[in-house]
Amino acid sequence: MTEAGLRAGWRILLFLGVFVVASVLLGGALAAAFPLAGGPALLLYQGTTGLGAALAAGGLLMAAVERRPFGALGFAWTRGVPRELALGLGIGCGAVLAVGAALAAFGLLGYRADPGTPALYASAVVGDLAVLGVAAAGEEALFRGYPFQVAVRSLGPVPATVVGSALFAAAHAFNPHAGAFALLNIFLAGVLLSVAYLRTRSLWFATALHLGWNWGTASVLDLPVSGLDPFDTPLYEPVLGGAAAVTGGAFGPEGGLAGTVGFLLALAAVRAARGLAEAPEMHALGPLVDVRLHGTVRST
């Protein structure tokens, strides 16, 4: 291992140590303050704990070790953020809805009536968006945040993306109904989200893309997402047919060919989108990956 690689390894280990401590402290405080329950409440608890711990660890190391401001992690508010949020949500949700429409066209996905009212439906999909947004931001802060950015600076974008995406897939290995096809698709999702971050240096964009896919799957299509099914959208209930290798079955679209096609569509859209670039305000903050990608050296 090179000297730079050794330095990067120690920094990532330090991040993980702080992350674990912060997770225990924050998780314990939240559990004491709010009674834990299953479903969306548990997902919100886990997402809040993960997001808070990842931001605390990343922010501490950015300040103490990297001598960079917190915003350089990727959550700085720039003039481009509103467009990044809208575009990310549109690409992520659009890709999975396109896959859902294709499954329906081939008779592999249908719906039957389910109790509810339009008001309950609106409340559910908006509430789901909020809960899934926190969860998506937490995963992005952990998997495309400080450790990934240090790895890009040390190893380069391609090795860092491969390793980071493999770890992202491994983190889902114990989800219900996870199989080899599902983990390959989660790896592909990791590549997609890494490309989204690297193109913009914006964790807002990566989070919106992640959220769009999950919300479109879990709330709009009312299908499991990554093997989890904590939401119940009123008015309709999905009915799947055909092979799980195509539809994803109980894991959701990510468990089959549907997920592969959806992630490839989203990746093509991210690569083809015009005007996606690192905002000048973000560049001024000095993201760690700029050292590798642009040769920009920030004095410390």
Q: What percent of the chain has pLDDT over 70?
A: 96
* pLDDT of amino acid 1: 41
Q: Residue type at 157?
A: P
The verdict on residue 29 lying in a domain is yes
Q: What is the mean pLDDT of residues 35-63?
A: 92
* pLDDT of amino acid 247: 97
User: In which element (H, E) is residue 109 found?
Assistant: strand 109-113
Range of the domain at 289: 3-293
* pLDDT of amino acid 35: 78
The verdict on residue 53 lying in a domain is yes
The verdict on residue 68 lying in a domain is yes
The verdict on residue 17 lying in a domain is yes
More confident residue, 193 or 300: 193
**Alpha helices, H only, 106-156:** 118-143, 146-155
pLDDT tens digits, residue range 122-139?
Answer: 999 999 999 999 999 999
Which residues, 6+ apart, have CB-to-CB distance to 134 below 8 Å?
44, 47, 48, 51
Residue 2 pLDDT grade (very low, low, confident, very high; cuts 50, 70, 90): very low
* pLDDT of amino acid 34: 83
pLDDT tens digits, residue range 247-259?
Answer: 999 999 999 999 9
Answer yes or no: is pLDDT of 6 > 60.
no
3-state secondary structure of 195: helix
Q: What is the mean pLDDT of residues 200-220?
A: 98
Answer yes or no: is pLDDT of 28 > 80.
yes
Which residues, 6+ apart, have CB-to-CB distance to 144 below 8 Å?
74, 164, 193, 194, 197, 203, 206
Number of domains the chain is built from: 1
What is the Cα–Cα distance from 23 to 172, expressed in whole angstroms? 18
Residue ranges with strand state E in 177-222: none
The verdict on residue 245 lying in a domain is yes
pLDDT tens digits, residue range 136-145?
Answer: 999 999 999 9
Residue 36 pLDDT grade (very low, low, confident, very high; cuts 50, 70, 90): confident
* pLDDT of amino acid 298: 53
* Residue whose C-alpha is closest to residue 288's, from 32, 2, 11: 11
pLDDT tens digits, residue range 144-188?
Answer: 999 999 999 999 999 999 999 999 999 999 999 999 999 999 999
The verdict on residue 299 lying in a domain is no
The verdict on residue 240 lying in a domain is yes
Q: Which residue has the tokens 């193109």?
A: 199
What is the Cα–Cα distance from 165 to 184, expressed in whole angstroms? 10
Global pTM exceeds 0.85:
yes
The verdict on residue 23 lying in a domain is yes
